[in-house]
Amino acid sequence: MKIAHGELTREAKRIFRRLAEPGTYLSPLGEKKYGLFVPRNRGRKPVMKVEESLVDAFCQKDWLKVYLPTDEFQAPQAESYQLSEVGLAWWRRQAAEVGAMPFQRQHQDIASVAGGKGRVNHGESPLAWLHHRKGKDGKAFLSDAEFDAGEQFRIDFTKAQLGPSLTANWEAQARGRTKRASAGGLALDATHTALMARKRFDQAKDAVGPGLQDILVDVCCHLQRLEGVEKTMCWPQRSGKVVLKIALDRLAHHYRMTRSEN
């Protein structure tokens, strides 16, 4: 059963609010339903029930991955899922748009970015900030197509596992409990997904060109602020916005998210 985009987004926000908590997972209950289990009750009783069709839709968007328990009390007896890096990043962007929820404020994900260029709250996206930033004419600095292109670029970066903190343990995934695939199959699926994402990522970089690739990687993938990029590149202040917009426009054309003007 196909789920409408609006309903899928609404349900994802409702469910991911709890699923984003460490150690929380979805496990099948029967009758085409999944239960959401949290660490504090050791998996004895679900705190929420989720339709199987929603879980399938989340998997198709790569928002979920096979759950890997950290101790014996959290080990479900059937195939279970937790938020993937892609799903968690999606949820953090949604939460950031409406203001951080109490749990996110209490557990902000502060980490060193690649190359030791500083520390960043992964719940905040420089691209999202620019997308909502309006000029004197009342229009957003970045168009929807430019923003979506940057997000697609970051998603492929994440799926390709190019960031040091996102490197997947495929061997551990292969040991995960599953009914639908063998352990080796899971490892091969993960490898194939990463390789295809890397191919798309490299093609997008080539399409943008060598003069614009670096700012896309720094801002979209490593979540670097423009001020930091300008200092690293020795650019004049506020010039980074212009370069980024040009790069995102080319990226949007590559992804066919906008029409070329004659």
> How would DSSP label each residue in 180-198?
SS-HHHHHHHHHHHHHHHH
- Please tell me whether residues 214 and 151 are part of one structural domain: yes
Q: How confident is the model at residue 228, as a pLDDT? A: 86
Which residues have C-beta within 8 Å of that of residue 77, sequence separation ≥ 6? 177
Distances in Å between the Cα of 107 and the Cα atoms of 102, 119, 127, 171 are 9, 15, 22, 28
Q: Of the candidates 192, 11, 222, which has an alpha carbon nearest to the alpha carbon of residue 118?
A: 222
Q: Are residues 30 and 143 in the same domain?
A: no
Together in a domain, 132 and 259:
yes
What integer pLDDT is reported at residue 49 of this predicted model? 92
Residues 161 and 249 in one domain: yes
Q: Which amino acid is at 203?
A: Q
Model pLDDT for residues 185-235, shown as the tens digit of each residue: 444 566 778 888 899 999 999 999 988 999 999 999 888 888 888 988 888
Per-residue pLDDT of the chain (262 residues; tens, 9 = 90+): 678 888 889 999 999 988 988 888 999 988 889 999 887 766 678 888 999 999 999 998 889 988 876 655 455 566 889 998 888 888 888 877 654 443 343 344 433 333 333 333 444 578 888 887 777 777 888 888 898 899 899 888 888 877 654 433 333 343 343 444 443 444 456 677 888 889 999 999 999 998 899 999 999 988 888 888 898 888 898 899 999 999 999 999 999 986 544 3
What pLDDT does 175 receive? 39
Token look-up 């029930």 returns 49
* Contact (CB, 8 A) for 99 and 210: no
Which DSSP letter does residue 180 get? S
Q: What is the DSSP letter of 219?
A: I
**The 33-37 sheet, strands edge to edge:** 48-51, 33-37, 25-30, 81-83, 64-66
Task: Supply the pLDDT for residue 88.
Answer: 86
Question: Which pLDDT score, from 0 to 100, does residue 262 have?
Answer: 36
* Domain's final residue, options 53, 83, 113: 83
Full residue range of the structural domain in which residue 202 is found: 124-262
Same domain, 136 and 74: no
End-to-end CA distance of the chain: 41
Are residues 199 and 255 part of one domain? yes
Helix (H, G, I), strand (E, B) or coil at 141: coil
Query: Does residue 12 fall inside a structural domain?
Result: yes
**CA angle, corner 93, sides to 176 and 172, nearest 5?**
15
The number of domains in the chain is 2
Query: What is the model's pLDDT at position 57?
Result: 92
* Closest-CA residue to 89 (of 44, 134, 32, 152): 152
pLDDT at 242: 93
Which DSSP letter does residue 107 get?
T
Q: Which of 128, 131, 126 is CA-nearest to residue 113?
A: 126
- Among the candidates 83, 110, 134, a domain finishes at 83
Residue 115 lies in a domain: no
Residue 258's pLDDT is what? 67
Task: Pick the closest to residue 84 from 68, 57, 104, 62 (CA basis).
Answer: 62
Domain membership of residue 159 (yes or no) is yes
Residues 129 and 228 in one domain: yes
Residue 208: per-residue pLDDT: 94
